[in-house]
A and B are shown apart, each in its own frame.
Chain A
Amino acid sequence: MVLPRRSTLAAAALATFAAAPSAFSEPVEGTHLFAIEVVGTPEGLLGAAGVRTRDATNAELVLDVIEHVHFLSRSPAGVEFYADTVAAFLNEWRRARRRDGTVSLEAAQDDSRAHDRLEEFLEAAGYLLLGNSGRLFVRPDPDSDAKARREALSAAGFPTADLDTRMNEGEAIAIEPRSFGIPSPLPADVWRDAVLADPEPGERLAFRLLTDRQAAFLYYGLLSMTPETVQFLAGNPRLLRELYERDAAGIAAYGRSLVVVNGRVRTPGGGAASILWQREVGEPIDRPGEFFKAVLRHDNGPFPFLYDAIASLDAPQQRFALGVGLEDRRQRRAFSRLYDVIAANLVFSPGTPWPRGFPDPSVLLSQVRADDSGQPSGPAWEDLWEAALDGIELPQNASRDVQRADRSDPIEASRLAERVFQEPPWAAARMAAFLLAQRRFTDVETRDLRHVLNTLRGFPLFQSLVSTLDRMGVQSPRTYATAVLHAASLNRMGEPEDARDALSQFQGAVALLDRVRHVRSLPEAAAADLAASAAAVRLHETRGYEGRMAGWVARELLPALGADPPDGDPEGGNFTDPAVTPGVGDAPAPWERIVLRALAGALEDEGWGQRVTTTWEGFSYVADLRGATLTRLLEAREAQAGASLDTALDLWAVADALAAGPETVAAVQGLVERLRSVATALPAREGPVGPVIVSHYLGRVYSDLERIRGPDDISRRAPEAAGRLLRLSDAVLGDVLRALVYAAYIGDPRSGVLGSGDLSVRHDFGLEVADADPLRATAWRYPEARTLPDRPWYAEGALLGLDFATADLRLQQIMTDRPPEAAPLASYERDGLAASVALFNPFERTQAEIDEIAEAVGAGRRRLDELAESPGDALAVAAAAGLGGFRRSLFAWIASRDPDRLGDWLSVRELLWLGLQEAGADNGDSGRAAERLAGWGAYAGRIDGCLCLRLAPPQMRWENWRGRAGSGLVAALAADLTLWVGEGLAVRGLPVSLSGPILEVAMRHMLDRVRPTHVQDWSTVLRYPSTLGEADFEDYVSSLTGTDFLRPGGDPTPSAQGAGGRVQRIR
């Protein structure tokens, strides 16, 4: 017998399958959803759909199946085979079973009718009924289809794997079919009668919903709608049928934004925008069915996308996007222009809900800050932005370009989007420039507009520089502009070697300032002033800095870090902590030591800078973030084996003295002696300033100086020698600054990353490829780790933002004895998650913050516990947690059916928002909490270009970015691990200074273990920390006990709180 692919027999079998009623017309208690039974097991269904991993009890399994069948593999064949196999098996079993409900060989031995039916039953189960000397026996059918049937039935929970053995041993086989319920927005009879117009019975329905593409899309979309909207549709069978036939993909993608309230459409932007929408849609809002169809069919693409995108914005953004408040004709024109920009930049496949491109104008609209009236904050003048978004080169005359700009109107959303996206390759950078202006130039004065213009125009070219200044907290437009203009002069340097030395010095200087500000060794204002002065150092476009940057280091940087200038006694630096870290060679030279100590963080009376004792697992430890950071720096510098800062400055001092013109031959000879002494400290290791270069320069300098025999020779030969020596001094200083930046960002040197020496000598600014990069954009781009055949690891790009390139290196692996399974996260997502750790700043985090996090997350958990008693509150609780669309529906389903799972099902960020809402924090203003706890957020630079962390507010959901797989956007929301660490520290009474090192361990573990089921399965990634347990946290903390972050010692104070203990400060 050949089994039919979709046998009517199978349908009939399911029709008579009496394990469950055919339809459920009442919603599941406490929800607006209906249960539809699926024959088999969740595991069997997931396997048939090709879903690789997933907790099979998860309520999202149906969505996973739809995702796999219709979005990824685009074939329902696996599920169809599974459904047909199960159906045929049940049918044949019903035909073959005896009155006692069993089948057996004995019963078929002498009964030809029973024999035939048993044979067909066994064939449906993947077995053969054979006879030998009149005795019947069962054997597995070797045919591959039969094997597949056996596997499918086993997965479906039928006890058929050893059917042959059991029957051959004489067992009478009984079959107990299994089934499970899935959530449905519509009752089964509505699906059957209204949507599918199919007489097939209820039990077949679930498979039909999963395998019928249109039905699957409709199911998906309806699940995302509000109960009232679904109720409205369910009451309009013809409309439902129409949506199923023509608009299912649109419903899947945009259904969440189609909302009915009191029988009318609630349009995005509120009442003020409803006239606009009715006019554009061409249908009144009191005819929701016609309105929805018109939205979805408007142009088969961009229009519903725009509708949905605007619906996803907060109210002020909606007003800005829709031009609420504009005069009518102008508003219509603006809307039309916005539509055109959306249409021109939308990546979209007709007939499918996804995918999407990135970036697109909707992302810009979602990031703009606007006030309640819909006006964008910051310098919003249209004339300024017309000038700022006009070309990618610096303006010839910035003052002229912005003359009277502050008298122009605020730029409209449509015009902004049009200008930002007029050149797609630069769109992301321009978007970031606009958002930078909103962050930093809110109160800009008219006289500074030219600086703002230079900054904004320079942003796409020098993004790493401008963003680093932004991260440092620089407010002054003048400082930004000076730096941008300085960068432009650096780009005009001709020779790649000269450019490299100069770039290393300038970028190195700014990167060090960024770092010392980051670790709070310098206040923001002081760092900003120093950045301004560094950018003002004069640069010669062929001769470089000629020692002037070294002068800046000596005369401005070092004193700011607490040292006497090098002209004084080098041993007289202001060291207050003379301890030399054990096990790290000789103490570094004095000036370098000052810089390293500043890079390790300031000593403070309060906050992270304290060394504190704490107890862990019964032992007393000293938590010492600063000390551990200093140890890492010292070890890294030792492994780098390069020149010290002191050597670079000594070299400069000789060159500077030579350039100043020694008055006597004896003075020259004295300088030669000093130079020879300094030269012995120059390292012999290979690199940009290797022994060959050094000896080349020094040889010529010595030669010049040795020829000075009388006063007349001094004026003739000393300047030339000084020039050469200054070039060498520039190169060595560049080398040193670059190495110091690497030392600060390389992570744990003991992890082996410095096994072959100094990675900084491999740094590639991209200067050698002039043809491919005429703008030298690479040298100012965020650096990236490169892996090429047979070229060891190196970073390419700017030195600024090096924490990006080294982000992965800083993650610490505690499980070194087993490789992780293949990691399916896209590289952008992995990089984004790692970047969140790289940008996390434990030096700025406070105990009060983790206490607030712990309190809020705890309150969120308690609210979930209460929900078990009152599942009817589920939708309200879901809204408080920031859930929307289908997740809100599924939350209600789980709250009703399996409330114990809710804690795992929400992400930590969602629990936080739920707790804050419950506590009435900030009067419900999530923006204030998001700002206050931003340091516990995630890297969102792919969206806003900022080198910072953001705690995404509750309304920013991953569903908003759906369809943009591999874009790195999920990382922008993934604050959950960081929050989990903060909560864990607080509840165990551990010091907040451990947060950074624990994150380094926890994130590596997460990247190795998290298993999304498919590229769009962001919820698994975001919820991963919710699945971590006590043992994980213990392992992470314990991993630090072998490091200086948590050093054995101190006063063993018994713990009052289990494994942890309250911190005690050490003076």
Chain B
Amino acid sequence: MRSVAASGSASGLVTVLFALAILGGPASPVPGQEGSPAVTFASPDGSRAMESTERLSVVLPPGTEDRTVRVLFSVDGRRVCVAEAAPFECSWDFGGDGRARVIRAVAELDDETRLVARVHTPMRMSIRFRTSVERVMVPAVVTDREGRYLAGLPVERFVVFEDGAPQEISYFEAPADRSQLDLAIAIDISGSMAPVMPGLKTSVKALLASLRPDDVVTLLAFNQRTFLLSRQEPDRAHLASLIDDLQPSGLTSLYDAIVRALDALDESNPRKAVLAFTDGEDRSSFRSPESVEQRVLDTGAPLYVVTLGPNSETDAIVETVGHLATVSGGQVFRADEPDELDRALAVFRDNVSNAYFLGYSPVDAASQEAEPVERFRQIRVRIRNSDGYQVRARAGYRR
């Protein structure tokens, strides 16, 4: 059994959209460039509100394409991507809030000329209806008594419980049917990472090379701040060059980075995961572990963390982050020695490759609507007729 439609995690909202062009305007060249050839936006054109992933592209003036070194795109003043080769375009996830946006592109030519284009997109007027049906997605990895992966179990063997009540599985994706993986990799670039960084770069690039061609990777680097280096990027060579450029400095804000990584995942794709690398305890996050746990539970993506060391903080990290990983259905790996890193990544790869995805609509969803207080709802996955099978799955969600 395989369902076609896949909603997000526990959110379960259907949004009806009405675009209302209030502030939008067509893309136009910038005054002051009158003497220069004009660059204009091909997409978006300013006629509608931006939501979810949209393509950003420009039309370069005749004769400038070969001279264009790169095009910088920014949304609401924040640079979101840099296109360094024709056709000079990229994608960006605008999220779902439907705000009016100011989108700007700067084409930098080889003579240091900058051609600027700008487009305003309108605000979306939205009316949201809460649906009576929602689907909860549960990634699950099953191993036998010896720790071997069991990848061929049929849906009939699975039983999902929510707060002890069995649920009807309405979505099932076996490892063999594996769809595109949306993987967010967050790399600690704090100053203390310097000794392990060369080895880490090599291993992460090897991991990227081993993913399926249609898998996409969101790459983040973090110290006390988080940098979104790429989003849903399929180009391995580009990712590798971004990794090569990383330089260690600063402190460690692991929790903030985890949340940012979760935010960057595609909500509509059930097969997603976060893989974080760090060597030290969180020292500068704004997020508390509790708020991160809530976000992890909301997202439903398994969290994997690799601790690099050894150092005096490894035990503490494993303890604090281990809980987050466990409730998400993920895992923490210790890589105290360099060769353990590749072993950890091999296990991670196996976990991802052998994961099932189960979806169900809670039988008491209607009553959930009526509950005024949000609370944790425990999920348990059991395998029928199993002989000591182990299941690692999302521990629950809050609603």
Does the CB pair A789–B313 fall under 8 Å?
yes
Instruction: Select the residue from A752, A757, A813, A1058 with max chain B CB neighbours within 10 A.
Output: A752
Given contacts A789-B281, A789-B283, A813-B225, contact A756 B74 (CB under 8 A): no
Does the CB pair A756–B287 fall under 8 Å?
yes
Q: Which A residues are CB-close (under 8 A) to B75?
A: 1042
Per-residue A-contact encoding for B218-255, CB less than 8 Å = 1, 0 else: 00010111011110000000000000011111110001
Does the CB pair B32–A1059 fall under 8 Å?
yes
Does the CB pair B32–A1049 fall under 8 Å?
no
Does the CB pair B30–A1041 fall under 8 Å?
no
Given contacts A816-B227, A817-B229, contact A787 B78 (CB under 8 A): no
Q: Which B residues are CB-close (under 8 A) to A1040?
A: 77
Tell me if A605 counts as interface (CB < 8 A to partner B): no
Q: Which B residues are CB-close (under 8 A) to A817?
A: 79-82, 227-230
Q: Report the nearest B residue to A1039, measured CB to CB.
A: B77
Query: Would you give the shortest CB distance from A72 to chain B, in whole angstroms?
Result: 19
Q: Report the nearest A residue to B117, measured CB to CB.
A: A617
Does the CB pair B286–A793 fall under 8 Å?
yes
Q: Which B residues are CB-close (under 8 A) to A1034?
A: 114, 116
Does the CB pair A792–B228 fall under 8 Å?
no
Instruction: Select the residue from A753, A759, A817, A821 with max chain B CB neighbours within 10 A.
Output: A817
Tell me if B102 counts as interface (CB < 8 A to partner A): yes
Tell me if A790 counts as interface (CB < 8 A to partner B): yes
Q: Which A residues are CB-close (under 8 A) to B81?
A: 817
Does the CB pair B291–A755 fall under 8 Å?
yes
Tell me if B279 counts as interface (CB < 8 A to partner A): no
Does the CB pair B283–A787 fall under 8 Å?
yes
Does the CB pair B189–A819 fall under 8 Å?
yes
Does the CB pair A792–B29 fall under 8 Å?
no
Instruction: Select the residue from B75, B102, B256, B283 with max chain A CB neighbours within 10 A.
Output: B102
Per-residue A-contact encoding for B276-287, CB less than 8 Å = 1, 0 else: 000011111111
Instruction: Select the residue from B106, B221, B227, B247 with max chain A CB neighbours within 10 A.
Output: B227
Tell me if A814 counts as interface (CB < 8 A to partner B): yes
Does the CB pair A814–B249 fall under 8 Å?
no
Does the CB pair A1048–B102 fall under 8 Å?
yes
Query: Would you give the shortest CB distance from B258 to chain A, in whole angstroms?
Result: 11
Query: Would you give the shortest CB distance from A789 to chain B, in whole angstroms?
Result: 4
CA distance A446 to B224 in the complex (A): 53
Query: Would you give the shortest CB distance from B244 to chain A, in whole angstroms?
Result: 13
Given contacts A619-B120, A1058-B31, contact A1048 B100 (CB under 8 A): yes
Interface residues on B, range: 35 or more
Does the CB pair B288–A618 fall under 8 Å?
no
Does the CB pair A756–B290 fall under 8 Å?
yes
Tell me if B191 counts as interface (CB < 8 A to partner A): yes
Instruction: Select the residue from B77, B80, B229, B259 with max chain A CB neighbours within 10 A.
Output: B77
Given contacts A790-B281, A1048-B120, A1058-B32, contact A818 B229 (CB under 8 A): yes
Residues of chain A from 720 to 766 with CB closer than 8 A to chain B in the complex: 752-757, 759
Given contacts A618-B29, A1048-B23, contact A819 B227 (CB under 8 A): yes
Q: Which A residues are CB-close (under 8 A) to B221?
A: 819
Query: Would you give the shortest CB distance from A750 to chain B, in whole angstroms?
Result: 9
Q: Which A residues are CB-close (under 8 A) to B272?
A: none
Tell me if A822 counts as interface (CB < 8 A to partner B): yes
Q: Which A residues are CB-close (under 8 A) to B223?
A: 819
- Of the candidates A754, A818, A823, the one whose C-beta lies within 8 Å of that of B249 is A823
Tell me if B153 counts as interface (CB < 8 A to partner A): no
Tell me if B54 counts as interface (CB < 8 A to partner A): no
Tell me if A1043 counts as interface (CB < 8 A to partner B): yes
Query: Would you give the shortest CB distance from B106 to chain A, in whole angstroms?
Result: 8
Does the CB pair B101–A1042 fall under 8 Å?
yes
Does the CB pair A1054–B31 fall under 8 Å?
yes
Q: Which B residues are CB-close (under 8 A) to A1049?
A: 23
Given contacts A755-B259, A755-B286, A789-B316, contact A1042 B23 (CB under 8 A): no
Tell me if A475 counts as interface (CB < 8 A to partner B): no
Tell me if A3 counts as interface (CB < 8 A to partner B): no
Tell me if A583 counts as interface (CB < 8 A to partner B): yes
Q: Which A residues are CB-close (under 8 A) to B313?
A: 789
Q: Which A residues are CB-close (under 8 A) to B337?
A: none
Query: Would you give the shortest CB distance from B283 to chain A, in whole angstroms?
Result: 4
Does the CB pair B79–A617 fall under 8 Å?
no
Q: Which A residues are CB-close (under 8 A) to B114?
A: 1031, 1034
Q: Report the nearest B residue to A617, measured CB to CB.
A: B30
Tell me if A788 counts as interface (CB < 8 A to partner B): yes
Tell me if A317 counts as interface (CB < 8 A to partner B): no
Q: Which A residues are CB-close (under 8 A) to B286?
A: 752-756, 759, 792-793
Does the CB pair B30–A1059 fall under 8 Å?
yes
Tell me if B392 counts as interface (CB < 8 A to partner A): no
Q: Which B residues are CB-close (under 8 A) to A907?
A: none
CA distance A752 to B258 in the complex (A): 13
- Of the candidates A618, A792, A1042, A1055, the one whose C-beta lies within 8 Å of that of B287 is A792
- Of the candidates A756, A789, A816, A818, the one whose C-beta lies within 8 Å of that of B282 is A789
Q: Report the nearest B residue to A1056, measured CB to CB.
A: B31
Given contacts A756-B286, A817-B227, A1038-B104, contact A792 B255 (CB under 8 A): yes
CA distance A821 to B79 in the complex (A): 17
Q: Report the nearest A residue to B259, measured CB to CB.
A: A755
Per-residue B-contact encoding for A1029-1060, CB less than 8 Å = 1, 0 else: 00100110011111100001100001100110
Query: Would you give the shortest CB distance from A151 to chain B, in whole angstroms?
Result: 21
Query: Would you give the shortest CB distance from B278 to chain A, in whole angstroms?
Result: 12
Query: Would you give the shortest CB distance from B367 to chain A, in whole angstroms?
Result: 22
Does the CB pair A617–B100 fall under 8 Å?
no
Residues of chain A from 694 to 710 with CB closer than 8 A to chain B in the complex: none
CA distance A819 to B283 in the complex (A): 18
Q: Which B residues are CB-close (under 8 A) to A815?
A: 79
Q: Which A residues are CB-close (under 8 A) to B100?
A: 1048
Q: Which B residues are CB-close (under 8 A) to A814?
A: 74, 77-79
Residues of chain A from 783 to 828 with CB closer than 8 A to chain B in the complex: 787-790, 792-793, 813-823
Instruction: Select the residue from B30, B118, B225, B286 with max chain A CB neighbours within 10 A.
Output: B286
Does the CB pair B28–A792 fall under 8 Å?
no
Does the CB pair B189–A617 fall under 8 Å?
no
Residues of chain A from 509 to 528 with CB closer than 8 A to chain B in the complex: none
CA distance A1054 to B28 in the complex (A): 14
Does the CB pair B74–A822 fall under 8 Å?
no
Does the CB pair A1042–B116 fall under 8 Å?
no
Q: Which A residues are CB-close (under 8 A) to B116?
A: 617, 1034
Q: Report the nearest A residue to B122, measured CB to CB.
A: A1048
Residues of chain A from 819 to 842 with CB closer than 8 A to chain B in the complex: 819-823
Tell me if B320 counts as interface (CB < 8 A to partner A): yes
Query: Would you give the shortest CB distance from A1054 to chain B, in whole angstroms?
Result: 7
Tell me if B201 counts as interface (CB < 8 A to partner A): no
Does the CB pair B28–A618 fall under 8 Å?
yes
Given contacts A822-B247, A1042-B77, A1048-B102, contact A755 B256 (CB under 8 A): yes
Q: Report the nearest A residue to B242, measured CB to CB.
A: A818
Q: Report the nearest B residue to A615, measured CB to CB.
A: B31
CA distance A790 to B228 in the complex (A): 23
Given contacts A1034-B116, A1041-B102, contact A790 B76 (CB under 8 A): no
Does the CB pair A617–B118 fall under 8 Å?
yes
Residues of chain B from 194 to 230 with CB closer than 8 A to chain A in the complex: 221, 223-225, 227-230
Tell me if B175 counts as interface (CB < 8 A to partner A): no
- Of the candidates B32, B99, B227, B256, the one whose C-beta lies within 8 Å of that of A583 is B99
A-B contact pairs, 14 of them (CB 8 A): A617-B31, A756-B290, A787-B251, A789-B280, A792-B285, A813-B78, A814-B77, A818-B227, A818-B245, A822-B191, A822-B248, A1048-B120, A1058-B32, A1059-B30
Q: Which 9 A-B pairs have the closest CB atoms?
A: A1042-B76, A1039-B77, A756-B291, A822-B249, A789-B281, A787-B284, A1058-B32, A617-B30, A1042-B77
Q: Name 7 extra pairs, CB < 8 A, besides A1041-B77, A1048-B102, A1054-B31.
A: A752-B260, A790-B282, A790-B316, A817-B81, A1042-B77, A1048-B120, A1058-B32
Q: Which residues in A have some Cβ–Cβ distance to B below 8 Å?
A: 583, 615, 617-619, 752-757, 759, 787-790, 792-793, 813-823, 1001, 1031, 1034-1035, 1038-1043, 1048-1049, 1054-1055, 1058-1059
